[in-house]
Amino acid sequence: MSELCLRVVGVRAEARDVMRLELADPDGRLLPSFEPGAHVVLKLPNGIARSYSLLNDCRERDRYVLGVGRSETSRGGSAYVHAELRNGAEIRCDAPTNNFRLRDDAGHYVFIAGGIGITPILSMIRWCEAMGRSWQLAYAVRNRSRIAFYEELAGYGDKVRFHCDDEYGGPLPVAQCMAGLAQHSQVYCCGPAPLMQAVKDCGAGLPEDALHFEWFSAPSQVPATAADVPAGSGFWIDLARSGRSFFVPETQTILEVLENNGHEVPFSCREGVCGTCETAVCGGEPDHRDYIYPESQRPALRSMLVCVSRARSDRLALDL
C-alpha cells in the first residue's frame, strides 16, 4: 500500500465536535482515485494511526475531505486532530481503501446515518446526484447542534429526513424508515452501534446483499478472561516467511501475540472495523469475527483481520 505525504489546506467546524479537514498534495499533484464509501488511514504525528472516511465527490483528484468527530472516549486520535491539526501541517496517510463499497446497479438507495456516520454517506449521495439515481437519507443526531453539513443536506429537500433525539423524544424509528422498501433497494448504514443493530434487525427479512454497514466501533462485548476458558485452549500460528510459530491463547488476539514477539503489523482500530491489519492466510481455517465481511463472502476469503479473528483449525499459516 503506497504512502502519501499530504498537507492540511482547510480546517473548519461543521457542527459541535465535528471538524472538516481538507488535505492536498503539497506540490499540487493528483491524488489516488477513490470510490464512494472509501477511507484513508491517517498516521498522526503522535504515533497513532486512525481511519477516516472520505466525504467529497469521488471524481475530485485534487483533495481528500474528511469529517472527524471528537470522541468522548478518544484514545488520542480524534482529540489530536481537533486540538493540533491546522492549515499547513503535513501528515502521512495510506492511499484510499474501501470496505463500504457502493453498488452501482441499485434501483433505489436508502441511507441511514447517525452522528459522524454521515461522512461516508455524503460521498455516496454525491455519486447518486451525479448519476441521477433515486435515494433517501435518514440522519439521526442527539440535538441540532450536532447536525454536520446541514446546509448541503437541507438543499436536497424531502430526500433528507433529519431526526434530533431530543426533539422527537427518542431514537430514530428505524422500522419506519425501512418500511415498504422498493424492490432492488440497497440499504447503507453508518453510525453508533445501537443504530446499526436496529437497522440489522429491521432488515432481517431482506437479502443479505441488500444491507451494508460501516462500523466505527464494534458492539460492546464482555472480554474473555482466563477463568472463562479451559486451560490450554487456543491455537497455533505459523509465520510462513519467518518460519516462527506462536501459540495464541483464548485471552489474547493474534495481533497481541505478534506484537509481544516483535512482529509489527499495521493496525488502527483493534476492533475489526477498519481493515488495516488484514493479513493473508496461507493455510488453515480462519474464524472471521470482523465487522467488514458478510457471512456470504467469508468462506472464500484467504485473508483475515488479526486484531479480532481467530482460527477454527488447530493451526493457521500467515503470510508473515
- In the predicted model, what is the mean pLDDT of residues 192-198? 92
Please report whether residue 102 resides in a domain.
no
Residue 189 inside a domain? The answer is: yes
Q: Can you give the pLDDT at residue 228?
A: 44
Which amino acid, residue 201? D
Pair 165, 245 in one domain: no
pLDDT digits (tens, 9 = 90+) for 249-258: 999 999 999 9
Answer with the one of 38, 65, 94 that is the final residue of a domain. 94
Q: What's the rounded mean pLDDT across residues 236-264? A: 94
Q: Are residues 13 and 75 in the same domain?
A: yes
Query: How many structural domains is the chain composed of?
Result: 3
- Name the residue range of residue 271's domain: 226-318
How do residues 268-308 score in pLDDT, each as one tens digit? 888 888 888 999 999 999 999 998 888 888 999 999 999 99
Contacts 24+ apart (CB under 8 A), 22-25: 22/63, 22/64, 22/65, 22/66, 23/63, 23/64, 23/65, 23/66, 23/91, 23/93, 24/62, 24/63, 24/64
Least confident of 111-125, 236-250, 268-282: 268-282
Residue 149 placed within a domain: yes
Say if residue 118's pLDDT is above 80: yes
The whole-number average pLDDT for the span 85-113 is 95
My answer on whether 35 and 60 are in the same domain is: yes
Model confidence at 110: pLDDT above 70: yes
The pLDDT value recorded for residue 227 is 43
* CATH number, domain with residue 206: 3.40.50.80
Is there a single domain that holds both residue 205 and residue 125?
yes
Question: How many whole angstroms separate alpha carbon 218 and alpha carbon 29?
Answer: 36
100: in domain = no
Q: Give yes or no: residues 112 and 211 share one domain.
A: yes
Q: Which residue has the higher pLDDT, 215 or 13?
A: 13
Q: What is the DSSP string of the chain?
A: --EEEEEEEEEEEEETTEEEEEEE-TT-PPPPP--TT-EEEEE-TTS-EEEEEB-S-TT--S-EEEEEEPPTT-SSSHHHHHHH--TT-EEEEEPPB-SSPPPS--SEEEEEEEGGGHHHHHHHHHHHHHHT--EEEEEEESSGGG-TTHHHHHTTGGGEEEEEHHHHTSS--HHHHTTTPPTTEEEEEEE-HHHHHHHHHHTTTS-GGGEEEEESSPPP-PPP-GGGS-TT-EEEEEETTT--EEEEETTS-HHHHHHHTT-----S-SSSSS-TTEEEEEES-EE---SSS-TTTGGG--EEETTT-EESSSEEEE--
Last residue of a domain, which of 195, 215, 235?
Answer: 215
Give the pLDDT confidence score for residue 180 in this predicted structure.
84
Task: Give tens-digit pLDDT for 161-174.
Answer: 999 999 999 999 99
CATH code of the domain in which 311 resides: 3.10.20.30
Strand order in the sheet with 245-249: 245-249, 234-239, 315-318, 278-283, 303-305
Statement to judge: residues 211 and 123 lie in one domain: yes
In-domain check, residue 99: no
CB 140 within 8 A of CB 163: yes
Are residues 199 and 262 located together in one domain of the fold?
no
* Residue 160 lies inside a defined structural domain of this protein: yes
Q: What is the pLDDT of residues 135-163, one digit of tens each?
A: 999 999 999 999 999 999 999 999 999 99
How high is the pLDDT of residue 215? 86
CATH number at residue 38: 2.40.30.10
- φ, ψ at 116 (rounded to 5°): -70, -5
Q: Which residues pair with 279 in a beta bridge?
A: 304
Tell me: do 197 and 239 sit in the same domain.
no
pLDDT tens-digit series, residues 10-55:
999 999 999 999 999 999 999 999 999 999 999 998 888 889 999 9
CA distance 126 to 132: 10
**286 and 205, same structural domain?**
no
Do 129 and 209 fall within a single domain? yes
Chain mean pLDDT for the chain: 91
Residue 139 or 223, more confident: 139
What pLDDT is recorded for position 220? Answer: 60
Confidence of residue 226 (pLDDT cuts 50, 70, 90): very low
Q: Is residue 192 part of a domain?
A: yes
Domain boundary among 94, 117, 151: 94
Looking at residue 74, its pLDDT comes to 66
Cα 137 to Cα 120: distance, rounded to the nearest angstrom:
12
Looking at the fold, whether 234 and 211 belong to one and the same domain comes out as no
> Within a domain: residue 62?
yes
Domain check: are 153 and 64 in the same one?
A: no
